């Protein structure tokens, strides 16, 4: 760390592990009165049990970023997790630095998570030095986007938000109309993948994280999942993130649209971008990702399908998070209380779809959206698992899991625990949907066709059991009227056999 005259008041600027945006205006000029601070810190490694690749990728990306800052001439204090006297919280860290330096002010970029926002806001009182929050300059919208876009509303529709975003930011627009004449290509984008086109090889960045892993082990951080020491495949620098974007646009984007809902046991990433980690730690910006997709020669349905995820869903769930926290974190609209079965941590279940989705999550810290929603999320919801347990699993296991994006997706979209704020109906299905969109059912120990009996696919009876037990809550939802008509039209003996099997499955989930 360089030095400045003791009498000159300094500004401390704290950079969090998911704020690795080298294009932030903070870094435009070198200022010798500014001391940047980065820290590998226990309050961040321990709030949930994370996947080992997630901790390793964040530390690796932070260390690269620190190197970059120093090489550009910025002064930096960097705390490694194994440093003697390493503090466990940001407050203690800043307090210590303020006693050692003549600090006049502290600046932070807005954290994305409520937990950190609360922590950072309390630092001013603890340290006795003013703390100023500035934008991360990453997102298209600010935290309060929903109240400024839809004043007075307490429920919001993603599609309306998305169209406003397209118009406001001039993305895929011809004047006031959407390019191609329609806002949505979902009907063209629901294909099953049956082996063709071939899956492009997964681009790995082979980051050597031997040192980082040694530090994680030495400091006793408890993690889940596995990692190959010298092959952390996730992009951990801006250059790697740009390469990953380029690889996606050239090799996957043309097929992204048609196969975005497909699932297969023959691979683990299909035509998805795997850019979520780089985006969420801000190595790249949503603008540059969207610009690259829009200026590519990929077919419009693929480009629109991709843009919708980032300009639509990503910005929308963030805005929902900030409009509803902290109460959102304890919503449990369906009153689910069940534990998460042990096989969520091992993958040892006979259900081939769940086994594949969980096993690849443990191996790669990644599953794509439909696996998260319609396999692991689906089974957790059908079994009635407590949303706190489901949230903790998703928050821990995925490389891209940060609460602002994980929670509205998990508690909201996937577990319907928010009473319909994010999703207009619960995302549950029987085996028929899984079979339509994947090759999972072929070779499964369970029969996709049977609804009752030991060999019957558990999703089948659970699907009806779920709708039956939540009838009071769900039957007035017009999107479910067909479901209840079909249920009511079934023979009473069939219904009771389904409920009996459903009861057994809910009570014996660990045996599935
Ligand atoms: C239960 C559940 C939990 C999830 N938890 C997370 C999470 O912790 N972190 C996270 O970034 N995403 C989460 N998602 C959303 C989505 O599944 C991931 O963003 C996506 O799978 C990341 O892989 P990708 O980069 O290959 O995405 P792609 O399919 O290539 O999509 C491109 C980008 O769009 C954005 N995106 C896509 N869908 C969503 C969405 N629903 N919400 C927000 N952004 C989206 C992501 O930034 C993603 O990188 C979750 C979804 C579900 C159903």
CATH number of 46's domain: 3.40.50.620
Pairing of strands 173-174, 177-178: antiparallel
Q: Is the pLDDT of residue 1 over 60?
A: no
76 and 221 part of one domain: no
350 and 315 part of one domain: no
Residue 152 lies in a domain: yes
pLDDT digits (tens, 9 = 90+) for 289-308: 999 999 999 999 999 999 99
What is the pLDDT of the chain when averaged over all its residues? Answer: 95
Q: What is the pLDDT of residue 228?
A: 81
Q: What is the pLDDT of residue 183?
A: 95
Q: What does the alpha-carbon distance between residue 349 and residue 140 come to, in Å, rounded to a whole number? A: 41
Distance 343 CA to ligand 1 centre (A): 23
Ligand 1 pocket, CB under 6 A: 272-276, 279-280, 309-310, 313-314, 317, 368-369, 372-373, 377, 394, 398, 400-401, 405-406, 409-410, 413-414
Residues linked to residue 78 through DSSP beta bridges, in sequence order: 38
The residue nearest atom 48 of ligand 1, judged by CA position, is: 276
Q: Is the pLDDT of residue 465 over 90?
A: yes
Ligand 1 atom nearest to 275, measured from its CA: 25
The residue nearest atom 18 of ligand 1, judged by CA position, is: 369
Identify the domain containing residue 350 by its residue range: 343-511
Ligand 1 atom nearest to 248, measured from its CA: 30
Distance 276 CA to ligand 1 centre (A): 6
Q: What is the pLDDT of residue 190?
A: 85
Q: What does the alpha-carbon distance between residue 164 and residue 265 come to, in Å, rounded to a whole number? A: 37
In the predicted model, what is the mean pLDDT of residues 175-189?
A: 90
Distance 293 CA to ligand 1 centre (A): 17
Distance 286 CA to ligand 1 centre (A): 13
> Which pLDDT band, with edges at 50, 70 and 90, does 9 fall under?
confident
The domain spanning residue 152 has which CATH number?
1.25.40.80
Residue 412 lies in a domain: yes
Q: Is the pLDDT of residue 95 over 90?
A: yes
In the predicted model, what is the mean pLDDT of residues 47-60?
A: 97
The preferred substitution site among 261, 309, 382, 391 for testing ligand 1, maximizing ligand atoms within 8 Å of CB, is 309
Residue 285 lies in a domain: yes
Q: Is the pLDDT of residue 453 over 70?
A: yes
Q: What is the pLDDT of residue 230?
A: 72
113 and 185 part of one domain: no
Instruction: Out of 287, 319, 351, pick the residue that ends a domain.
Output: 319
> Which pLDDT band, with edges at 50, 70 and 90, does 186 fall under?
confident
In the predicted model, what is the mean pLDDT of residues 386-412?
A: 98
Distance 64 CA to ligand 1 centre (A): 25
404 and 356 part of one domain: yes
237 and 110 part of one domain: no
Tokens encoding 148: 């400024």
Q: What is the pLDDT of residue 418?
A: 96
Q: Is the pLDDT of residue 488 over 80?
A: yes
The CB-based long-range contact list for 147-150 (8 Å cut-off, 24+ gap) reads: 147/323
> Which pLDDT band, with edges at 50, 70 and 90, does 121 fall under?
very high
3-state DSSP percent of the chain in helix, strand and coil, to 5: 50, 10, 40
Residue 232 lies in a domain: yes
Sorted by sequence, the CB contacts under 8 Å of residue 465 that are 6+ apart come out as 382, 498, 499, 501, 502, 503, 505, 506
Residue 457 lies in a domain: yes
Helices (H), ranges, 295-376: 300-307, 315-324, 343-346, 352-364, 369-371
Q: What is the pLDDT of residue 231?
A: 81
159 and 102 part of one domain: no
Ligand 1 atom nearest to 402, measured from its CA: 8
Tell me which of 188 and 208 has the higher pLDDT: 208
Q: What is the DSSP string of 428-467?
A: ---HHHHHHHBS-STT-SSBSS-SSSTTB-HHHHHHHHHH
Residue 302 lies in a domain: yes
The residue nearest atom 29 of ligand 1, judged by CA position, is: 272
Distance 369 CA to ligand 1 centre (A): 6
218 and 262 part of one domain: yes
14 and 93 part of one domain: yes
Distance 434 CA to ligand 1 centre (A): 19
In the predicted model, what is the mean pLDDT of residues 107-114?
A: 98
Lowest mean pLDDT among 13-17, 225-229, 326-330: 225-229
The preferred substitution site among 354, 389, 400, 423 for testing ligand 1, maximizing ligand atoms within 8 Å of CB, is 400
Tokens encoding 48: 């949930």
- Three-state DSSP state, 425: coil
Distance 175 CA to ligand 1 centre (A): 30
Write the burial class of residue 263 (CB in 10 Å: 0-12 exposed, 13-18 middle, 19+ buried).
Answer: buried
In the predicted model, what is the mean pLDDT of residues 321-339?
A: 97
Ligand 1 atom nearest to 286, measured from its CA: 47
Distance 368 CA to ligand 1 centre (A): 7
The preferred substitution site among 258, 340, 369 for testing ligand 1, maximizing ligand atoms within 8 Å of CB, is 369
Ligand 1 atom nearest to 401, measured from its CA: 8
Pairing of strands 223-224, 177-178: unpaired
Distance 22 CA to ligand 1 centre (A): 23
Ligand 1 atom nearest to 279, measured from its CA: 47
The answer to whether 353 and 431 have CB atoms below 8 angstroms apart is no
| Percent of the chain with pLDDT strictly greater than 70 | 99
Q: Is the pLDDT of residue 2 over 70?
A: no
pLDDT digits (tens, 9 = 90+) for 133-166: 999 999 999 999 999 999 999 889 999 999 999 9
Residue 246 lies in a domain: yes
pLDDT digits (tens, 9 = 90+) for 61-89: 999 999 999 999 999 999 999 999 999 99
The preferred substitution site among 409, 410, 423, 428 for testing ligand 1, maximizing ligand atoms within 8 Å of CB, is 409
The answer to whether 142 and 135 have CB atoms below 8 angstroms apart is yes
Q: Is the pLDDT of residue 113 over 60?
A: yes
Instruction: Out of 286, 319, 352, pick the residue that ends a domain.
Output: 319
Q: Is the pLDDT of residue 371 over 80?
A: yes
476 and 355 part of one domain: yes
Could you give the number of structural domains in the chain?
Answer: 3
In the predicted model, what is the mean pLDDT of residues 474-485?
A: 95
Q: What is the pLDDT of residue 269?
A: 95
Q: What does the alpha-carbon distance between residue 505 and residue 260 come to, in Å, rounded to a whole number? A: 30
Distance 288 CA to ligand 1 centre (A): 17
Residue 326 lies in a domain: no
Q: What is the pLDDT of residue 5?
A: 54
Q: What is the pLDDT of residue 4?
A: 54
270 and 407 part of one domain: no
The residue nearest atom 43 of ligand 1, judged by CA position, is: 314
The preferred substitution site among 247, 252, 276 for testing ligand 1, maximizing ligand atoms within 8 Å of CB, is 276
302 and 166 part of one domain: yes
In the predicted model, what is the mean pLDDT of residues 248-272?
A: 96
Distance 418 CA to ligand 1 centre (A): 19
62 and 127 part of one domain: yes
CA end-to-end span of the chain, whole Å? 56
> Which pLDDT band, with edges at 50, 70 and 90, does 6 fall under?
low
């Amino acid at each position: 760390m360089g030095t400045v005259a003791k009498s000159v008041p300094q500004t401390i600027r704290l950079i969090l592990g998911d704020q690795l945006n080298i294009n932030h205006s903070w870094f435009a000029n070198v200022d010798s009165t500014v001391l940047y601070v980065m820290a590998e810190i226990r309050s961040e490694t321990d709030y949930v049990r994370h996947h080992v690749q997630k901790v390793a990728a964040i530390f690796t990306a932070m260390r690269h970023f620190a190197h970059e800052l120093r090489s550009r001439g910025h002064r930096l204090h960097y705390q490694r997790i194994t440093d003697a006297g390493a503090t466990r919280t940001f407050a203690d860290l800043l307090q210590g630095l303020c006693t050692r330096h003549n600090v006049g002010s502290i600046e932070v970029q807005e954290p994305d998570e409520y937990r950190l926002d609360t922590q950072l806001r309390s630092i001013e009182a603890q340290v006795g030095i003013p703390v100023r929050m500035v934008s991360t300059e990453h997102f298209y919208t600010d935290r309060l986007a929903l109240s400024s876009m839809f004043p007075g509303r307490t429920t919001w529709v993603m599609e309306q938000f998305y169209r406003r975003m397209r118009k406001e930011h001039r993305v895929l627009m011809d004047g006031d109309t959407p390019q191609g004449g329609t806002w949505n290509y979902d009907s063209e984008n629901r294909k099953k993948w049956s082996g063709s086109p071939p899956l492009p090889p997964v681009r790995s960045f082979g980051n050597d994280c031997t040192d980082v892993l040694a530090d994680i082990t030495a400091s006793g951080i408890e993690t889940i999942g596995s990692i190959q020491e010298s092959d952390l495949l996730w992009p951990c620098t801006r250059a790697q993130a740009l390469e990953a974007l380029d690889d996606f646009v050239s090799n996957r984007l043309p097929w992204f649209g048609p196969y975005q809902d497909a699932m297969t046991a023959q691979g683990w990433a299909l035509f998805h971008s795997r850019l979520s980690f780089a985006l969420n730690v801000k190595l790249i910006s949503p603008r540059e990702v969207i610009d690259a997709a829009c200026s590519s020669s990929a077919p419009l349905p693929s480009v629109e399908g991709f843009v919708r995820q980032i300009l639509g869903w990503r910005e929308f769930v963030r805005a929902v998070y900030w409009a509803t926290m902290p109460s959102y974190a304890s919503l449990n609209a369906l009153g689910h209380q069940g534990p998460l079965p042990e096989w969520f941590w091992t993958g040892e279940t006979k259900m081939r779809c769940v086994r594949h989705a969980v096993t690849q999550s443990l191996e790669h810290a990644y599953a794509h959206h439909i696996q998260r929603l319609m396999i692991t999320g689906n089974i957790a919801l059908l079994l009635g698992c407590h949303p706190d347990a489901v949230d903790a699993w998703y928050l821990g296991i995925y490389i891209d899991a940060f609460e602002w994006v994980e929670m509205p997706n998990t508690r909201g979209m996937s577990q319907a625990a928010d009473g319909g704020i994010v999703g207009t109906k619960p995302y549950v299905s029987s085996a028929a949907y899984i079979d339509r969109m994947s090759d999972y059912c072929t070779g499964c120990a369970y029969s996709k066709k049977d609804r009752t009996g030991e060999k019957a696919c558990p999703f089948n009876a659970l699907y009806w059991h779920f709708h039956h037990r939540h009838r009071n809550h769900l039957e007035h939802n017009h999107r479910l009227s067909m479901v209840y008509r079909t249920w009511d039209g079934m023979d009473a003996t069939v219904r009771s056999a389904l409920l009996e099997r459903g009861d057994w499955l809910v009570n014996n989930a660990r045996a599935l």
